[in-house]
Amino acid sequence: MRQTSDSLPVLCASCEARHRGVCGALNAEQLSELARASHLQVIEAGRELVGDTEQVESYSNVLSGVVKLTKTLSNGRQQIVGLQFAPDFVGRPFRDESPISATAATTVSLCSFPKATMERMMREQPNLENRLLRQALDELDDARDWMVTLGRKTAAEKIASFLLLIARNIDPKAAAADRPASFDLPLTRSDIADFLGLTIETVSRQLTKLRIDGIIRIENNRRVT
């Protein structure tokens, strides 16, 4: 189905999710319907996305920034179980409450829409389900990769894997050309520790070690491979 450019909702015109994200599965008509039901929002670092009542009933696309998905143990121990970058989709279909909480790691902008609308469209448009399946399978692959990192790597290897992961997601062009990537770390030391199953101190020590060995450079909390 072709569409003229003016039938495209302005909201979506420059949106990454329109192509690489879940919205790519929709036709022009569905897209504008979804756009009508959706709204943009900006969340500053540290605030929770879902779980704070008015958001439980919605799904979102990440437009910019990084969202961390965390699980907390009774005694306060925390583990980050996933990071979502643009244009990923946030929200758990087919289950009312997810045992996972989603928090903005950086300032995040979101395109959110009601669960009900999304679920109706899933029924009408199998392509959408296909997209979601693909993303779920990709996330599953990521999660399993990370299990190897958590279970079988040393602190130094964990830090290295983490830096690579971020580099690939923030600065894909440089990573592909495999020359020095440079970016701001989207996570605090404490987030990194929670992601890697380490303590803040160990993260800090490993980073200074990499810096002293000349592998990376750090200014403030920013760096270069």
Partner DNA sequence: GCCCCGCGTTGACCTGCATCAATGGCATCG
Partner DNA sequence: CGATGCCATTGATGCAGGTCAACGCGGGGC
Contact residues: DNA, CB under 7 A: 154-156, 188-190, 197-205, 207-208, 218, 221
Counting every residue, how long is the chain? 225
How many other β-carbons are positioned within 10 Å of the β-carbon of residue 79? 14
Burial class (CB in 10 A: 0-12, 13-18, 19+), 127: middle
39 binds, among DNA, its own copies, none (CB under 5 to 8 A by kind): none
Separation CA 107–CA 42 (nearest Å): 7
By CB under 8 A, name the one of 59, 113, 146, 162 that touches its own copies: 146
The span from the CA of 136 to the CA of 67, in Å, is 16
Closest CB 190 distance from DNA, rounded Å: 5
Query: Torsions phi, psi of 181, nearest 5?
Result: -100, 150
* Residue 76 binds which entry of its own copies, DNA, none, CB below 5-8 Å type-dependent: none
Residues in region 84-123 near its own copies by CB under 8 A:
92-95, 98-100
Q: Of all helices (H) and strands (E), which one includes residue 103?
A: strand 101-104
CB 224 within 8 A of CB 180: yes
Residues in binding contact with its own copies, number by CB under 8 A = 38
C-beta of residue 181 within 8 angstroms of C-beta of residue 224: yes
**201 is a site residue for its own copies (CB under 8 A):** no
18 vs 68, which CB is nearer to DNA? Answer: 68
From DNA, its own copies, none, interface partner of 179 (C-beta below 5 to 8 A by class): none
79 binds, among its own copies, DNA, none (CB under 5 to 8 A by kind): its own copies
Give the separation between CA 18 and CA 145, rounded to whole angstroms: 28
How far is residue 67's CA from residue 88's CA, in Å, rounded to a whole number?
10
Please say which residue, 116 or 140, places its beta carbon nearer to its own copies. Answer: 140
Among DNA, its own copies, none, the one that 218 touches (CB under a kind-dependent 5 to 8 A) is DNA
| Residue ranges binding its own copies (CB under 8 A) | 69, 71, 73, 77-79, 81-82, 92-95, 98-100, 126, 129-130, 132-134, 136-137, 139-141, 143-148, 150-153, 196-197
